């Protein structure tokens, strides 16, 4: 078995994050002290937004009315798919109850968090799909209060299609806010909101750092880095399709890695030849972002066997893993480290990013080795309970007291032994 890199990038030094951490820490401290006034200052200074922070019901309706009907239909289509998948996920979760020993009954309950803050990125692209993915999933999970925010555009606010999507999905409060100030406002329950129990949604490095710093006081979905994608392909794959699937993901940004792992040299060489021309055909700024990502972050790996290719894919643990190869069931059963898996040339990561249903908020930077993506589970607490009768209580008390004293925990032992005073049946 052999692995040959037909294109390999140099290992990058760890990105220095002290400046980002310092800036974010200072912003959070100022917002903690100054509250809504500090948030308004940051919105004005950083985003050029001096308008109202809360999007009113009338403004929601006006924004929705400006969205073309065809786009509304597309958004509703995606929303329905995402909702159906989230509902199927929820159906796999359930309460349970078991008699562990005679007289001792224990169980678990599924309880949604009380409030969620959903961050919808803006910046270069208007991420309609992120509104659908985060808010819909929280709603299906049964979260009682959902606040959503997104970066504004000067003189405009949040783009109309994003407001329409937020409203369609059931956001209780929409804030004209992006960046650290948006995350902080949701976590603190500013502008009439409810303090968030969990913050979810992708964002830039400042948003990610704000979520990291707030973690503990609130929950978060995951620590997110730049999006990444890997395609596994064999001789049966179409090089044009493989190349476009890689280029489309490089479009996300200059720091977004894309990888090709293949057992076919001809396919690999064709993709290497075609990808630069495809990138050049994109509009700006997409082409510039993809060009840097391809030059500095893309790798092409040639393997002897499919088992070797699977091992390489598991080692990368990509956010998105696409398989264009024969015997898809083998790959489905074999692969074990990915955020979301796309099987066959008939599907593509772009479907998952926008409309097909499974969530697109996924683990990046190899985190798929130990966690999955956003789901109804992230908005739900699995809690346990127990009760017992006097006979079971006596049995537990005797054993608990002995173990506790062996551990040196006399208070635990005495607490257990109090239960011996209860009369048995």
Is the bond preceding 285 in cis, omega lying within 30 degrees of 0? Answer: yes
Alpha helix ranges (H) inside 55-122: 57-66, 69-91
pLDDT of 37 reads: 98
- Would you give the DSSP letter of residue 54? B
Q: What angle do CA 393, 396, 399 make, to 5 degrees?
A: 150
End-to-end CA distance of the chain: 68
Question: Residue 224 in contact with residue 252, Cβ under 8 Å?
Answer: no
| Cα Rg of the chain (Å, integer) | 25
**Long-range CB pairs of 11-19, under 8 A, 24+ apart, other chains included:** 17/205, 17/209
Torsion of CA 86, 89, 95, 98, to 10 degrees: 180
Sign of the Cα torsion 162, 165, 167, 169 reads negative
Per-residue pLDDT of the chain (425 residues; tens, 9 = 90+): 588 999 899 876 555 566 899 999 999 999 999 999 999 999 999 999 999 999 999 999 999 999 999 999 999 999 999 999 999 999 999 999 999 999 999 999 999 999 999 999 987 767 899 999 999 999 999 999 999 999 999 889 999 999 999 999 999 999 999 999 999 999 999 999 999 999 999 999 999 999 999 999 999 999 888 999 999 999 999 999 999 999 999 999 899 999 999 999 999 999 999 999 999 999 999 999 999 999 999 999 999 999 999 999 999 999 999 999 999 999 999 999 999 999 999 999 999 999 999 999 999 999 999 999 999 999 999 999 999 999 999 999 999 999 999 999 999 999 999 999 888 77
- Give the pLDDT score at 422: 83
Strand order through the sheet with 198-200: 173-175, 145-149, 115-119, 198-200, 219-220
CA dihedral 196, 201, 202, 204 (to 10 degrees): -30
Tell me the pairing of strands 299-303 and 219-220: unpaired
Bridge partners of 107, per DSSP, are 97, 385
What is residue 150's three-state secondary structure? Answer: coil
Known active-site residue 320? yes
Dihedral angle over CA of 150, 134, 127, 45, nearest 10: 20
Selected catalytic residue, list 79, 127, 252, 320: 320
- Rounded-to-integer distance, Cα 96 and Cα 89, Å: 17
Q: 165, 85 in Cβ contact below 8 A? A: no
Helix (H, G, I), strand (E, B) or coil at 181: helix
CA-to-CA separations, 100 to 106, 344, 417, in angstroms, rounded: 7, 45, 21
| The predicted structure's pLDDT at residue 390 | 94
- Per DSSP, what are the bridge partners of residue 343? 323
* β-bridge pairing 115-119 and 145-149: parallel
Q: What is the value of pTM for the model shown?
A: 0.93
Of 59, 145, 319, 360, the active-site residue reads: 319
Sequence-separated (6 or more) residues with CB below 8 Å from residue 65:
none
Measured between alpha carbons, how far is 317 from 372 in angstroms, rounded to an integer?
Answer: 11
Asked if residue 355 lies in contact with residue 361, where contact means CB atoms within 8 angstroms, the answer is: no
> Does residue 360 carry a catalytic annotation?
no
Angle at the Cα of 46 (from 25 to 184), degrees rounded to 5?
Answer: 40
């Amino acid at each position: 078995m052999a692995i040959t890199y037909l294109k390999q990038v140099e290992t990058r030094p760890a990105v220095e994050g002290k400046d980002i951490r310092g800036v974010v820490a200072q912003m959070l401290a100022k917002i903690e002290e100054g509250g809504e006034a500090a948030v308004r200052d940051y919105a004005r200074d950083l985003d050029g937004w001096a308008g109202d922070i809360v999007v009113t019901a009338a403004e929601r309706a006006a924004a929705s009315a400006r969205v073309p009907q065809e786009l509304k239909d597309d958004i509703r289509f995606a929303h329905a798919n995402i909702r159906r998948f989230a509902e199927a996920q929820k159906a796999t979760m359930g309460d349970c109850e078991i008699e562990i020993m005679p007289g001792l009954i224990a169980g678990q309950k599924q309880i949604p968090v009380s409030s969620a803050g959903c961050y919808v990125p803006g910046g270069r692209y208007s991420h309609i799909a992120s509104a659908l993915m985060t808010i819909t999933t929280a709603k299906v999970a049964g979260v009682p209060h959902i606040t959503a925010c997104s970066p504004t555009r000067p003189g405009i606010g949040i783009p109309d299609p994003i407001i329409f999507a937020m409203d369609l999905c059931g956001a209780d409060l929409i804030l004209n806010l992006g960046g650290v100030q948006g995350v902080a406002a949701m976590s603190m329950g500013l502008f009439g909101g409810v303090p968030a129990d969990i913050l979810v949604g992708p964002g830039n490095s400042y948003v990610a750092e704000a979520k990291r710093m707030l973690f503990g006081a609130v929950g978060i979905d995951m620590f997110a880095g730049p999006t990444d994608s890997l395609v596994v392909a064999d001789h049966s794959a179409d090089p044009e399709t493989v190349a476009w699937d890689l280029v489309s993901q490089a479009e996300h940004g200059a720091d977004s890695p894309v990888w090709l792992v293949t057992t076919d040299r001809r396919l690999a060489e064709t993709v290497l030849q075609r990808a630069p021309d495809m990138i050049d055909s994109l509009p700006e700024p997409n082409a510039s972002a993809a060009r840097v990502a391809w030059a500095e972050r893309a790798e092409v790996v040639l393997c002897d066997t499919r088992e070797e290719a699977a091992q390489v894919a598991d080692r990368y643990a990509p956010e998105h893993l696409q398989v264009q190869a024969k015997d898809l069931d083998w790959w489905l059963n074999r692969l074990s480290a990915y955020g979301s898996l796309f099987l066959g040339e008939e599907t593509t990561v772009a479907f998952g990013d926008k409309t097909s249903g499974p969530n697109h908020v996924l683990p990046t930077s190899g985190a798929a080795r130990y966690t999955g993506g956003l789901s109804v589970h992230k908005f739900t607490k699995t809690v346990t309970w127990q009760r017992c009768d006097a006979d079971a209580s006596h049995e537990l008390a005797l054993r608990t007291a002995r173990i506790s004293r062996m551990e040196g925990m006399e208070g635990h032992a005495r607490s257990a032994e109090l239960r011996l005073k209860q009369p048995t049946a």
